[in-house]
Amino acid sequence: MKLYLVPTPIGNLADMTYRAVNILNEVDLILAEDTRTSGKLLQHYEIKTPMLSYHMHNEHKIVDHVVNRIKAGETMALITDAGSPGISDPGFLITRKMIENGLEVIALPGATAFVPALVVSGLPCDKFVFEGFLPVKKGRQKRLEFLKDEKRTIVFYESPHKLLKTLGDFKNHYGADCQISISREITKMFEEHYRGTVEDAITFFEVKKPKGEFVVSLSLQ
């Protein structure tokens, strides 16, 4: 009668913890963001627990059904395609429903992209704010403007096809000389970190086409 939030590797399969493998073997059901992606992970670790698709497009429809099954005695684990559930991925809604029903939720520590990106950025990391993905259209400029007086390092997630647009927005709102660190493919074979000013980053990525998923750490101070 509990739910485990289980982080999965963000690239390097060796980052799966012993505890995570044990939990996924022991639960009655695994809620997976994409069963095809998670199927490869489970196969690698010889985990045979059945899966149920649970993602942002169906969670509002099935969350009550899932919680009722847990209330009836099942134990489940939630995993996403990569990283920690709830961090720019499904996890919040079912956690809130579990708490509302007086049911136990246990979050395992494990892989998440923004922590390693932040600590190797060279930017202050004693205090920071995690923004995740910026709004694509509605509310984007308002959010950027809201952050202009932020004194803590700001951490964003960004996709390759939007990276240059986001860097341009940073230049327009915060200036060309702000310090930035851009990390890609963390834990993977082609892991890279670019550090410099926003202006320099724009020049760099105009030449080198962005590939992979990015974590962007930005200091406005």
Segment 189-213, tens digit of pLDDT: 889 999 999 999 999 999 999 998 9
**Cβ 127 vs Cβ 221: under 8 Å:** no
- Confidence label for 63 from pLDDT (cuts 50, 70 and 90): very high
In the block, tokens 């760099």 appear at: 204
Give 8-57 pLDDT, tens digit per residue: 999 999 999 999 999 999 999 999 999 999 999 999 999 999 999 999 99
Sign of CA dihedral 154, 111, 57, 94: negative
3-state secondary structure of 219: strand
Hey, which residues does 77 pair with through a beta bridge? Answer: 4, 30
**Cβ 191 vs Cβ 184: under 8 Å:** yes
Q: pTM for the complete prediction?
A: 0.92
What confidence score (pLDDT) does residue 221 get? 86
Sign of CA dihedral 199, 201, 205, 210: negative
Nearest to residue 116, comparing CAs of 155, 167, 171? 155
User: CA–CA separation, 85 vs 108, rounded Å?
Assistant: 10
User: What is the share, in percent, of the chain residues with pLDDT greater than 90?
Assistant: 98
User: CA–CA separation, 88 vs 155, rounded Å?
Assistant: 12
User: CA–CA separation, 171 vs 121, rounded Å?
Assistant: 19
Task: Fill in the amino acid letter for 11.
Answer: G
Nearest to residue 53, comparing CAs of 44, 62, 45? 62
pLDDT at position 133 over 90: yes
**Cβ 41 vs Cβ 7: under 8 Å:** no
Task: Specify the pairing of strand 29-32 against strand 76-79.
Answer: parallel
Nearest to residue 1, comparing CAs of 65, 100, 51, 76? 76
pLDDT, average across residues 92-104: 98
User: CA–CA separation, 9 vs 110, rounded Å?
Assistant: 8
User: CA–CA separation, 163 vs 119, rounded Å?
Assistant: 21
Q: What is the mean pLDDT of the chain?
A: 96
